[in-house]
Structure 1
Amino acid sequence: MSLDIKLKKASKVYKDGDVVKGVLEVTSKGDLSHNGVTLTMEGVVTLQLSAKSVGVFEAFYNSLKPIQLVSYSIDLVKPGKFPHGTTEVPFELPLKAKGGKKLYETYHGVFVNIMYSLKAEMKRSILNKDLQKVSEFIVEYVESERGEEKPVEFTVTPQSLENVKDRARIPDFLVTGTIQTVNCSITKPFLGEVIVERSEAIIRSIELQLVRVETCGCAEGYARDPTEIQNIQLADGDVCRGMKIPIYMVFPRLFTCPSLSTSSFKVEFEINIVVIFQDDHLVTENFPIKLTRAIS
């Protein structure tokens, strides 16, 4: 015997206010007695602290309770029997936030997780194990007008670097470039270019890092943790001087979301352009970016 939740939308992508439609598929060999089937829609933000923050913020470690965005349950089938074979039970559930709040986009992070799911549960007699099936679906914002493009031109030299202990050991170099915009649409690629104007040291690699910065906390304090999402190599080896190296990166689904700031957590994003020299010395230029779900 088995339960399966099949949504009408193959993409499983919904927006605030949509009706989530589908069928619960019950398969059994022979008649299947049960004490009722319930269907629950849940949307939850779960927060946790990194290991390095636990001791420092012990005061509010236990206050990071899950934030309930959606909680809705219906009795889908009354107690009775399912016949031999496969039975489909249709359902419709409105996707609405509790208390008139706004639904956040689905996001799978390290210290912040925003997840929406449907859970079907079939109650059975004491001697038989209850059956459960959980199916995740995705929530996205309604597209809005795209914000103003903010192109950024950058220049990286030994003198422009911060937090350098021994500047004399850094080889002479000049790296310039352009980022098309730091106001980014999550559905469009991140674009730009980087140029090595000069470098007395041999370059081994030029890379682009996408970093999420997750902040959790409350009145007692906040823990801010950056983690890398993906790393793309833009150039391999000692590149030609003065040549334009294109930057092209697609934002990964689920691991990114529109930039989000609330009273108890934040999800922000940054871009690092990293130049690695042959002696493993590396220099990094950091750019905070804002992600939106905007029309191109």
Structure 2
Amino acid sequence: MAKERGVDIELKLSRGSRIYRPQEILAGMVVINNWASKYISHQGIRVIVDGRVNLQIPFHIPLNVSEDGDPDGFYETYHGSNINIQYLITTDVVRGYLHNTLSATLEFIIESVKGHLFNTPVSPESVSFYITQDTQKHQLLPALRSGGFRVTGNICTQCSLAEPVTGEIVVETSALPIYSIDIMLLRVESIIIGEKFALQTTEIQTTQVADGDVCHSMALPIYIILPRLLTCPGLSNGFFSIEFQLQIVISFESDLSKLYGEPKLKTTKQWVASQTLPLRLIRVERNQDG
């Protein structure tokens, strides 16, 4: 059904089933709905019957490793900030000089080859952390510097890409109420261009663990689902590298925090405390699910 402002047109067939046989009459109506009750002009109404056959042509293309047998010829699919690893399949239907070539492109996903996979489940490796006024290198609010705070916990720093990042965090003491507890997933991309080295850390996603003040000495669970195309196993090939980090961000309630809102990456605001930990992501062999 085609639409224009206040006017649309639709086709209605004489049979609700829309089933007809050869030699029968295909009958129906062209309905013009004039919702705006305005004058409609036209230069003729055409009805065309078109028959189409859609063909599906199968193909099989082996994804071979390089000639020397090195499986590193394929890097995992990754969509980053300055580094993108994509695999595309393109088809062209050449129709001759007087017709345009028909083309279609589709992205497909590459994961680690079997030789580089862990065949057995990998136990997540967790580290303990603590965040206090003494672990911060930037200036804090006077109330935080004098009254102090202590936030402890543990979090996975090695895990499978198919599993969530888990852990827990505990606010033991705090001179100011908690405004928010967030965990940022960061990517660290480095590129070597000639003799120059470019490194950039950007945020992939932020997971909020707590909103508002929390009970002291109560363990809060951490559960972070990793985005599929924005993460990959850590990679370094001499020309570029991809690494990941977790940044634990504690925002305290103050007039300034209400004024400026949510913290940004690697913030040094006076009402924010943080700690950054490395995150190693690995690929574990799984059954093909199609």
Summarize the alignment of residues 124-143 of structure 1 with structure 2, pairs less than 5 Å apart.
124-141=95-112, 142=114, 143=117
Determine the structure 2 residue equivalent to 1:39: none
Contact 2:127 2:154 (C-alpha < 8 Å) held by counterparts: yes
Determine the structure 1 residue equivalent to 2:198: 223
1:90-146 Cα distance to aligned partner (Å, 9 max, x none): 211000244444211111111111111110011222322111000111111133145
* Larger CA Rg, structure 1 vs 2: 2
**Distance in 2, Cα, partners of 1:124 & 1:295:** 44
**Distance in 1, Cα, partners of 2:135 & 2:124:** 25
Does 2:64 match 1:96?
yes
CA shift for structure 1 position 155: 1.1
1:40-73 Cα distance to aligned partner (Å, 9 max, x none): xxxxxxxxxxxxxxxxxxxxxxxxxxxxxxxxxx
Q: 1:285 aligns with which of 271, 275, 283?
A: 275
**Distance in 1, Cα, partners of 2:142 & 2:176:** 14
Does 2:145 match 1:173?
no
**Structure 2 CA distance for partners of 1:148 and 1:244, relative to 1, 3 Å:** closer
Does 2:95 match 1:119?
no
Which amino acid is 1:241 matched to?
H
Does 2:183 match 1:208?
yes
**Distance in 2, Cα, partners of 1:110 & 1:186:** 19
Secondary structure at 1:153 match in 2:
strand
User: What residue ranges of structure 1 are gaps of 5+ in the alignment?
Assistant: 1-82
**Distance in 2, Cα, partners of 1:266 & 1:152:** 24
CA shift for structure 1 position 226: 0.9
Which amino acid is 1:285 matched to?
Q
Determine the structure 2 residue equivalent to 1:68: none
Contact 1:206 1:275 (C-alpha < 8 Å) held by counterparts: yes
CA shift for structure 1 position 216: 1.3
User: What residue ranges of structure 2 are gaps of 5+ in the alignment?
Assistant: 1-50, 258-270
**Distance in 2, Cα, partners of 1:146 & 1:266:** 26
Determine the structure 1 residue equivalent to 2:173: 198
CA shift for structure 1 position 168: 5.0
1:136-171 Cα distance to aligned partner (Å, 9 max, x none): 111111331455643211111111113x14685644
Secondary structure at 1:126 match in 2:
coil
**Structure 2 CA distance for partners of 1:167 and 1:84, relative to 1, 3 Å:** closer
Contact 2:125 2:159 (C-alpha < 8 Å) held by counterparts: no
Which amino acid is 1:178 matched to?
N
Q: 1:264 aligns with which of 222, 233, 239?
A: 239
| Greater relative contact order (CA < 8 Å, ≥ 6 in sequence) | 1
Determine the structure 2 residue equivalent to 1:107: 78
**Distance in 1, Cα, partners of 2:158 & 2:285:** 12
Determine the structure 1 residue equivalent to 2:53: 85
Which amino acid is 2:64 matched to?
K
Which amino acid is 2:100 matched to?
K
Q: 1:159 aligns with which of 134, 144, 152?
A: 134
Aligned identity (percent) is: 37
CA RMSD of aligned residues (A): 2.1
**Structure 2 CA distance for partners of 1:154 and 1:128, relative to 1, 3 Å:** same
CA shift for structure 1 position 183: 1.5
**Structure 2 CA distance for partners of 1:252 and 1:130, relative to 1, 3 Å:** same
Contact 1:158 1:167 (C-alpha < 8 Å) held by counterparts: no
**Distance in 2, Cα, partners of 1:234 & 1:288:** 19
CA shift for structure 1 position 294: 2.4
Secondary structure at 1:159 match in 2:
helix
Q: How many residues align?
A: 212
